[in-house]
Structure 1
Amino acid sequence: MPTTKALPLIDPAGGQAGDPCCPPLTERPFTAGEAEAAARMFKALGDPVRLRLFSAVASHEGGEACVCDISDVGVSQPTVSHHLKKLREAGLLTSERRGTWVYYRVEPSVLAAMGRLLTASAAV
């Protein structure tokens, strides 16, 4: 089975909590490692079903959603589970089983990291 790599975040001791693996796109060119980390995140979000699921979790009341609440995206339940697994493997979602249901959450640090990556540097 292939290993999975989550979007790495900088150690809070070495930077602000939620700092992404990479600088803002407009700050400087990415290193090879930074580009690989960002590409994993964008690849996971590059599928319309995954993007809808990610958005459904992120916008759900309380920032957490049961799989039963977000599975109506026009594909079968096994396909939903596959896409949620890909989002977890990319480090974009976390999950917790409670009884027979699985609940998903977008970590605030992930949203902060994505926002920082896509934010333009301040003009000088």
Structure 2
Amino acid sequence: MTTATAPAPQPRLGTLSRPSECCDEVRPAALETDAARQHALRFKALADPHRLRILALLAAQDGPLCVCDIEAQFDLSQPTISHHLRVLRESGFVTATRAGLWVYYALHQDGLAVVQDALVTIGASPDR
């Protein structure tokens, strides 16, 4: 009668030492986990064509726009426009100012610069 022996346990991924002659030195990432999460939320806010169009509309203005003026430029309901504006505001891309019943939106001065900085940090700068 033969008895089967269990296979030897395999080392867990990441615990193997690598031979120095086979691989190049790996530099650590310049982007920490918390910063990556923050940037991901901003990029997620930009990952919608309506929000990109709202940003482009606001960028083309000399001053803030009322939500009703923004709504008139889209085939979307006012609550949907307000939702997109809330996402953009919470992500730091637009500012909101209330005047009576109306809310006026404008581009946040530093909103898009933050995205540019994130791209430079992860190495997607044009001069790389």
TM-score of the pair, normalised by structure 2: 0.65
SS at match of 1:82: helix
Contact map agreement 1:58 1:106 (CA 8 A) in 2: yes
Q: Distance in 2 between matches of 1:77 and 1:121?
A: 38
Q: Which structure is higher in helix share?
A: 1
SS at match of 1:108: coil
Question: Is the radius of gyration larger for structure 1 or structure 2?
Answer: 2
Let me know the Cα RMSD of the aligned residues.
Answer: 1.9
Contact map agreement 1:52 1:73 (CA 8 A) in 2: no
TM-score of the pair, normalised by structure 1: 0.66
What stretches of structure 2 of length at least 5 have no aligned partner?
A: 1-28
Matched length? 95
The structure whose RCO (Cα within 8 Å, separation 6+) is larger is 1
Show structure 1 runs of 4+ deviating over 4 A.
none
Contact map agreement 1:45 1:51 (CA 8 A) in 2: yes
Cα displacement (A) at 1:121: 6.8
What stretches of structure 1 of length at least 5 have no aligned partner?
A: 1-27
- Over the matched positions of the two proteins, sequence identity in percent amounts to 42
Partner residue of 1:57? 58
Matches within 5 A, 1:1-80: 29-62=30-63, 64-71=64-71, 72-80=73-81
SS at match of 1:117: helix
